[in-house]
Amino acid sequence: MAPTPAAAATVSSRGDTSPAPPGGSQPVAGGWQLAASSALTRLLRQRELGIALVAIILFVLFSLLSHGTFDSVQNWAAIGSATAELGIVTVGVSLLMVSGEFDLSVGANFAFAALVMALMIHDGYPPLEALGADIGIGIGVGLLNGLVTVMLDIPSFITTLGTFFLWSGVTLLVTGGQTVTILNPPGVLTALGGSVSGQIRAEIFWWLGAGLVIGLLLHRTVTGNWLFAVGGKRFAARETGVPVVRTRVIAFVICGVLAAFAGAVQLGHLDSMSASFGSTYQLEAIAASVVGGCALTGGRGSILGAMIGTVVLQMLDNGLILSGVSPYWYESVVGVIVIAAVALHVRIGRLTRGAEQ
Amino acid sequence: MTGGSSTEGVAGAALVQPSPWFEARRVGKRFGSVVALEEVDVAFRPGEIVALIGDNGSGKSTFVKIASGVYQPDGGTLLIEGREARLRSAKDARQAGIETVHQDLGLVDSMSIARNFFLGAELRRGPFLDLTRMERETRKMLVEIGLGNLRAVGQEVSRLSGGERQAISIGRAVAFQKRMLILDEPTSALSIKETETVFEFIRMAKVRGLAVLCVMHNLVQVRDIADRFVVFWHGRKVADVANTGQSEKELAEYILEGKLSELGIERSSLDTGTLRALMQE
Ligand SMILES: Nc1ncnc2c1ncn2[C@@H]1O[C@H](COP(=O)(O)OP(=O)(O)OP(=O)(O)O)[C@@H](O)[C@H]1O
Ligand SMILES: [Mg+2]
């Protein structure tokens, strides 16, 4: 429905406050600076810019420190496949964060869904059926998180803290803490996480594919528009006719499905699954999203940023080792990077929005 | 400008009263123990501007939110063109032809002007948002409300001033308007000149035959725009009268009647100063 602007009157409600800069007839340098600074502002408005800068700096740093091992093709294939599982989880978590919610149950969901899938394949069920069960569990876990949060009207942080414990417990009950290994991996598992050529594994493409699909959904569709609106100001969204409840639940379901799918990909990669896999993913995914520019308060963020954020975390993990630094530094460095990146995003945001709060 | 009052004689009253487009009958709403609305009856006719006035917390915004589908009434019915209408969401109301400028403006600060303009009524191209067309239409609207030179439609709403936000929100409702236009204190952040602009939009909606509901605080301004005054007191309708050129004092008396009878004050014994003081409370 196209708007039919009714007003024929040309009204100047604000037109009298002329925006013309006083420097209109000033020396060329002034005008140039103005143009350059507005171009810079426009560039900085891309939420991905801050994190891309961090990624480039780390890349240069590790390339120098590792004497050529870090920036090799093989190493990047390794970084890529090590990033993929967390990357897929993060794509969902960042979408959910844009809608203003958290999911602390992604790691438990990841392990639970993939373990059921592994057990089913192990027990001779058709592999595609096992994959279907994995996805079904993801939908169910996400739906439960969403419905409980919406209907009981409690913070999703609490809901998913609860379901994290719930599904972790169920996983241990089902497996008794055992690792399930699949000796003759079927084609489905190879397609999910097998080698495509040399070091390059299929999971990289699943990650990029998930990023592309979810990125388009979030940034280019009506549903995505509603996710931003619901996360930005829920009541305003309701006042304009956005189906707030449905949109919120959809976000939880998408996040749940991606976490479970990442578990399936992990199983495809390792051909085995244990209850402890992915147990730190909830925090790492939030860290990667935040580093990539997602606002903790919702309403702002980008899938591309979150994907670069995941790569940055992985670069740290990998680069520290190759630079001869103890890998035990990894978590400490991640902590510092999270704080620094958010401080950077806040500053960039203030600069581009011209706000001085 | 006063409406309807100049029709001569008794015949005038019965002459042309179009049947209501939108009606609320015995509508009630409570929030916990707070009764925000109680058995409210109001009718809105095409081409008529109804000004809803009343003290703070008298239920004006609650009524607006029920009429725009944001809240569900606990009791009573809504009728559109004489038929019972269920407005389960703001989307239902917008589809029925009701556009609203809410008191909080209904804007998402973290989103662009263009995305806000089309929020809940997005333009698509296949499965995707038609951002190009949304931005083009928004730019047209900005020019119409006089913000065209000042603002890029890709800009976040958080960068706008209070008056600019109000203009965007009103511009949005005016652009989509079909049968009824509701404005909840649309001029609270505006200068006198900007207020006149908004009144121009409202009069234009009237000329086009829309039913208009306008919540106003300013009793001087409201006399310029209203055809009819509806007055709320503690969630009840206490007056529903044509604009016959009542003075500011008379309007204040409508608003305060409930309070006056509570206090046992004779209306005739009041002077404007006391009224103003009571209004301030
Ligand atoms: N969502 C809500 N939850 C609880 N109470 C509410 C809610 N909305 C309104 N109320 C209460 O209902 C009553 C009517 O509020 P409402 O906002 O409709 O008044 P109003 O006439 O618009 O006032 P104002 O002139 O200040 O805008 C008030 O007592 C208010 O506190
Ligand atoms: Mg109000």
**How confident is residue A175, by pLDDT bands cut at 50, 70 and 90?**
confident
Distance from CA of B50 to the nearest CA of A (A): 20
User: Is A156 exposed, middle or buried, given 0-12, 13-18 or 19+ CB atoms closer than 10 A?
Assistant: buried
CB B51 within 8 A of CB B239: no
Question: What CA dihedral angle connects A97, A99, A100 and A102, to 10 degrees?
Answer: -40
User: What three-state secondary structure class fits B24?
Assistant: strand
Select from B158, B211, B208, B217 the least CA-distant residue to B186.
Answer: B217
Select from A165, A145, A166, A167 the least CA-distant residue to A155.
Answer: A145
Question: What domains sit in chain B, N to C, each tagged with a CATH number?
Answer: 3-107+180-247 (3.40.50.300)
pLDDT digits (tens, 9 = 90+) for A309-339: 999 999 988 888 888 888 788 888 888 888 8
**How confident is residue A356, by pLDDT bands cut at 50, 70 and 90?**
very low
Structure tokens at A340: 């620094």
Q: Which among A12, A224, A233 has the least Cβ separation from residue B146?
A: A12
Higher pLDDT, A76 or B182: B182
What is the percent of chain A where pLDDT is above 70? 85
Give the distance (Å) from ligand 2 centre to CA of residue B106.
13
d(CA A311, CA B247): 69
Of A14-23, A60-69, A210-219, least confident by mean pLDDT is A14-23
Give the distance (Å) from ligand 1 centre to CA of residue B60.
8
Which ranges constitute the DSSP H helices of B145-238?
162-176, 192-207, 219-225
d(CA A215, CA A248): 17
Higher pLDDT, A338 or A206: A206
CATH entry, A46-356, from 1.10.390, 1.10.10, 2.130.10, 1.10.3470 = 1.10.3470
Task: Verify whether ligand 1 is closer than 6 Å to residue B62 (CB atom).
Answer: yes
Of A1-5, B98-102, B123-127, B183-187, least confident by mean pLDDT is A1-5
pLDDT at B32: 92
**pTM for this model (two decimals):** 0.87
pLDDT at A14: 33
Task: Verify whether ligand 1 is closer than 6 Å to residue B33 (CB atom).
Answer: no
CB B33 within 8 A of CB B43: no
CB A260 within 8 A of CB A138: yes
DSSP label at A182?
-
Of B2-6, B39-43, B153-157, least confident by mean pLDDT is B2-6
Structure tokens at A272: 């085995």
pLDDT at B143: 86
**How confident is residue B135, by pLDDT bands cut at 50, 70 and 90?**
very high
pLDDT at A24: 32
Higher pLDDT, A21 or A176: A176
- Three-class HEC string of B151-170: CCCCCEHHHCCHHHHHHHHH
Q: Considering only alpha carbons, which residue of chain A is nearest residue B166? A: A13
